[in-house]
């Protein structure tokens, strides 16, 4: 099923959650609104396989060889070797990085560095975009020439990107209310590695304390806990709920419930338990 819309309606974190939960494969295109982010004028393409991010590029198709060019710029490949691989790129039936490693042209450390630069660093920048269009095409062919062969869960990348996000103004309308509570959806973080602040907040996500009270307990700003709440919510670990009011003890309520006795305008508050004892006494006397 194709999915298209605007980033003002669905954040990138929510889109990543949709892709991973559905274990989907395909190509997600991100087209920033013109002028929204000066450094993001191109359309970006994120390739998924089984809910995992395989590659990120600002071009698509075998004729665009960003990964190869990166390796040449870092002098892992000679210009001659790059030209040879470029001519044969249309014949690839496996990720480019996997092929290069199998032929000992690059090593595991270089492959990891390429993935971190191509996927993680670029995705973190894409999370700064809050205005633009997106489209997920589940029928797009795999673009092996852009792939290192490494991959990460979409939610794990989203969590990392949101930790690094400095300007939250574009997501302010999506943050949970300070007087709402957060309720865990799992007993454990579901395999995701939380940082120390996230874990402290996670421990109090029991659907009882308001976010403002959680902030006080863990010694963080309310806005920081709201952001953590959004991070945990957008990757499916918690949900926003109404904070449960503290219920007073029933016996105390009965003892404090006022009733009016006496005539005229004079009224005296008397507890129901006192009236019950008084009625029992009068019956005995009768």
The predicted pLDDT at position 246 comes to: 53
**Global confidence as pTM:** 0.78
The predicted pLDDT at position 259 comes to: 46
CA–CA distance, 216 with 3 (Å, rounded to integer): 40
* Residue scoring higher pLDDT (273 or 13): 13
The predicted pLDDT at position 138 comes to: 94
Q: Is residue 47 packed enough to be buried (19+ CB in 10 Å), middle (13-18) or exposed (0-12)? A: buried
Average pLDDT value over all residues in the chain: 84
25-39, 226-240, 242-256: which has the highest mean pLDDT? 226-240
Is residue 169 domain-resident? no
- Confidence band for 59, pLDDT divided at 50, 70 and 90: low
- Confidence band for 254, pLDDT divided at 50, 70 and 90: low
- Confidence band for 182, pLDDT divided at 50, 70 and 90: very high
Residue 275, pLDDT > 60, answer no
Radius of gyration of the chain (CA): 29
The predicted pLDDT at position 3 comes to: 86
Within this chain, do residues 130 and 35 fall inside the same structural domain, yes or no? yes
Is residue 247 domain-resident? no
Within this chain, do residues 47 and 113 fall inside the same structural domain, yes or no? yes
Domain-ending residue, one of 164, 193, 221: 164
3-state secondary structure at position 173 = helix
- Confidence band for 216, pLDDT divided at 50, 70 and 90: very high
CA–CA distance, 94 with 148 (Å, rounded to integer): 10
Taking the mean position of all CA atoms in its chain, how far away is CA 60?
26
Residue-level length of the chain: 286
CA–CA distance, 40 with 55 (Å, rounded to integer): 17
- In the predicted model, what is the mean pLDDT of residues 154-183? 94
Within this chain, do residues 141 and 21 fall inside the same structural domain, yes or no? yes
Express each pLDDT in 113-151 by its tens digit. 999 999 999 999 999 999 999 999 999 988 899 999 999
The predicted pLDDT at position 62 comes to: 44
Neighbouring C-alpha atoms within 13 Å toward the C-beta of 21: 10
- In the predicted model, what is the mean pLDDT of residues 250-270? 48
Is residue 34 domain-resident? yes
* Residue scoring higher pLDDT (139 or 41): 139
Express each pLDDT in 66-97 by its tens digit. 899 899 999 999 999 999 998 888 888 999 99
Is residue 248 domain-resident? no
Give the rounded percent of residues in the chain with a pLDDT score beyond 70: 80
CA–CA distance, 10 with 131 (Å, rounded to integer): 10
Residue 128 φ then ψ, to 5°: -80, -15
Per-residue DSSP letter, 106:
S
Within this chain, do residues 158 and 194 fall inside the same structural domain, yes or no? no
The predicted pLDDT at position 175 comes to: 95
CA–CA distance, 208 with 182 (Å, rounded to integer): 8
Domain-ending residue, one of 130, 164, 198: 164
Q: Where are the beta strands (DSSP E) in the chain?
A: 3-6, 26-32, 44-49, 52-57, 132-137, 152-153, 180-184, 206-210, 238-242, 259-261, 268-270
Within this chain, do residues 223 and 267 fall inside the same structural domain, yes or no? no
Within this chain, do residues 133 and 230 fall inside the same structural domain, yes or no? no
3-state secondary structure at position 109 = helix
- In the predicted model, what is the mean pLDDT of residues 35-54? 79
Give the rounded percent of residues in the chain with a pLDDT score beyond 90: 66
Is residue 66 domain-resident? yes
Is-contact 181 211, C-beta < 8 A? yes
Express each pLDDT in 263-274 by its tens digit. 444 444 545 554
- Confidence band for 63, pLDDT divided at 50, 70 and 90: very low
Question: What residues make up the domain containing 61?
Answer: 3-164
The predicted pLDDT at position 176 comes to: 96
Q: What's the domain count of the chain?
A: 3
- Confidence band for 248, pLDDT divided at 50, 70 and 90: low
The predicted pLDDT at position 89 comes to: 84
The predicted pLDDT at position 66 comes to: 85
Within this chain, do residues 76 and 192 fall inside the same structural domain, yes or no? no
């Amino acid at each position: 099923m194709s999915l298209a819309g605007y980033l003002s309606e669905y954040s990138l974190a929510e889109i990543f959650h949709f892709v991973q939960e559905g274990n989907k494969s395909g190509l997600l295109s991100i087209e920033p609104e013109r002028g929204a982010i000066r450094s993001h004028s191109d359309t970006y393409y994120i390739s998924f396989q089984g809910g995992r991010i395989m590659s990120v590029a600002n071009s698509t198709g075998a004729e665009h060889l960003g990964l190869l060019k990166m390796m040449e710029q870092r002098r892992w490949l000679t210009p001659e070797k790059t030209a040879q691989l470029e001519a044969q790129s249309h014949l690839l039936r496996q990720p480019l990085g996997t092929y290069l490693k199998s032929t000992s042209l690059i090593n595991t450390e270089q492959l990891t560095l390429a993935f971190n630069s191509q996927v993680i660093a670029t995705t973190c920048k894409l999370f700064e975009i809050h205005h633009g269009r997106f489209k997920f095409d589940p029928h797009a062919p795999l673009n092996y020439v852009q792939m290192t062969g490494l991959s990460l869960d979409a939610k794990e990348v989203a969590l990392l990107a949101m930790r690094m996000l400095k300007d939250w103004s574009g997501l302010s309308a999506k943050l949970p209310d300070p007087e709402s509570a957060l309720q865990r959806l799992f007993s454990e973080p579901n395999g995701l590695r939380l940082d120390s602040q996230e874990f402290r907040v996670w421990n109090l996500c029991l659907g009882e304390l308001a976010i403002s009270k959680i902030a006080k307990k863990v010694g963080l700003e309310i806005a920081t806990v709201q952001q953590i709440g959004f991070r945990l919510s957008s990757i499916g670990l918690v949900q926003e709920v109404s904070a449960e009011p503290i219920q007073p003890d029933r016996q105390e309520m009965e003892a404090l419930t006022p009733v009016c006795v006496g005539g005229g305008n004079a009224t005296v508050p008397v507890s129901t338990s006192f009236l019950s004892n008084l009625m029992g006494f009068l019956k005995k006397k009768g």
